[in-house]
Structure 1
């Protein structure tokens, strides 16, 4: 069985070690307002447990959730009962999703409320990484809202181990790295505008997580070319990337992703030396 167990990477200087693929869980809790090419049905508990068990068997230890992912946090709290030590959990602050609509609040009071609520939902005493779920105003949020200062306080209190920004701009990503531990950036075959942030993280020893590595399923290539392999060659071949978050509820897709990622990483290491 091909797994990722021996391919873990440090998440910058956070002290966290993560699998090169992380499991995104928006599809466990929300099926409205999501940007996928095809519709889907939220899996029931049996299907979700099967998926999480398979991910763990494959060596995936990074799981990504958010308050804006509907019931994802609450479901994970139940589904991962008794497994907390096996997972690096990433959640977020700043975006809420209610009655089919998103809204944002980056204030210190809401940031603390959000983290404390996530701890209860996830049934844990700490969250490994909390990211600011930006609405696109990255620099303004980081400089004026007080969200980063609040996350720093929560880190000192031991409620979170690290913090950063899931942003949408290069300027925001660079500022996030300068003042925090990690940035989550969009980086795929279609969009590479935030590559500068990954380059900077590599030089600073800061953490990078990649979202939309497969362009939310919208990657289109030449006939007979595997979009997953081409995408992972780009994303996982960059030394600044710790992990790519891929949201899937398909055991078949998960298996293919792991197999291809392992092949790409090992081929890269053979050609260029250890990343």
Structure 2
């Protein structure tokens, strides 16, 4: 059986002008194996395995890749791995959260925000990052109103170093403010958690971008009994027309192919 791909299902990310695949590849597992919320352990793949995974993702029609300074060495590894194919990827990175010695710490100041983006550009070996999200610690409103991070991202966008910005937050109020003043919000939305749905509704009404994290509940959706939980997750998610893409962080080629097949099948059914 021919594996379905996502090439025909790319869509615009809100008003950013960026065309993205409905499934994005999350790369936390390329960079760190401490302090991650997955139900089973894993080994960080070597460069050969990581390169194979990226190549498979491209073949399957994925052009969206999600990384962050807090993902250990993810950005440094992606730089050389994406050499020669930069134009084929839409890169999402973050600012605000740093991860070292097994601990996260946060800095949303203008100086650190600029330093972080410049460092990400160097690590990723690129002259621009398509989308930079504020990696919230949960105090969404305080960060957006008082830290200066959004104003700094707006400057970096004017300078052409980033093409769009937004918030990967934890509250409805934060998501709404992030969209009001920025381009995109990354929200949690899955079979177990739907509290941030109003942010998705706002995005749909105002032409803003939505990316979904934890679409499969960090792998825990796969542990549900009964019906196919992965399919149910994607059916629920893509039933909302405000959603541009779901970020799924897998390093298992079979899981990646299966997820793509499921998403393609769900989207094809919705088009009928």
TM bin, normalised by shorter chain, reads: over 0.9
Correspondence for 1:122: 124
Note the C-alpha offset of 1:2.
1.1
Q: Give the distance between the partners of 2:73 and 2:269, measured in 1 at CA.
A: 38
Q: Give the distance between the partners of 1:150 and 1:256, measured in 2 at CA.
A: 39
SS of the aligned residue for 1:262 comes to: helix
Q: Give the distance between the partners of 1:81 and 1:118, measured in 2 at CA.
A: 15
Using structure 2 for the length normalisation, give the TM-score: 0.98
Q: Give the distance between the partners of 1:3 and 1:196, measured in 2 at CA.
A: 30
SS of the aligned residue for 1:202 comes to: helix
The answer to whether residue 224 in structure 2 is matched with residue 221 in structure 1 is yes
Correspondence for 2:37: 35
The answer to whether residue 252 in structure 2 is matched with residue 250 in structure 1 is yes
Runs of 4+ in 1 over 4 A off after TM superposition: none
Correspondence for 2:198: 196
- What pairs with 1:87-106 in structure 2 (closer than 5 Å)? 87-106=89-108
- What pairs with 1:6-85 in structure 2 (closer than 5 Å)? 6-85=8-87
Q: Give the distance between the partners of 2:199 and 2:211, measured in 1 at CA.
A: 11
The answer to whether residue 88 in structure 2 is matched with residue 86 in structure 1 is yes
SS of the aligned residue for 2:8 comes to: coil
State the Cα RMSD in Å.
0.6
Note the C-alpha offset of 1:221.
3.4
Note the C-alpha offset of 1:237.
1.7
Residue by residue over 1:105-125, the C-alpha shift from the partner in whole angstroms, topping out at 9 and shown as x without a partner, is 000000000000000000000
Residue by residue over 1:73-102, the C-alpha shift from the partner in whole angstroms, topping out at 9 and shown as x without a partner, is 000001011110000000000000011111
Note the C-alpha offset of 1:226.
1.1
The answer to whether residue 114 in structure 2 is matched with residue 112 in structure 1 is yes
SS of the aligned residue for 1:36 comes to: coil
Using structure 1 for the length normalisation, give the TM-score: 0.97
5+ long unaligned stretches in structure 1: 271-275
Residue by residue over 1:184-219, the C-alpha shift from the partner in whole angstroms, topping out at 9 and shown as x without a partner, is 000000000000000010000000000000000112
5+ long unaligned stretches in structure 2: none
Note the C-alpha offset of 1:222.
3.7
The answer to whether residue 4 in structure 2 is matched with residue 2 in structure 1 is yes
Q: Give the distance between the partners of 1:174 and 1:243, measured in 2 at CA.
A: 18
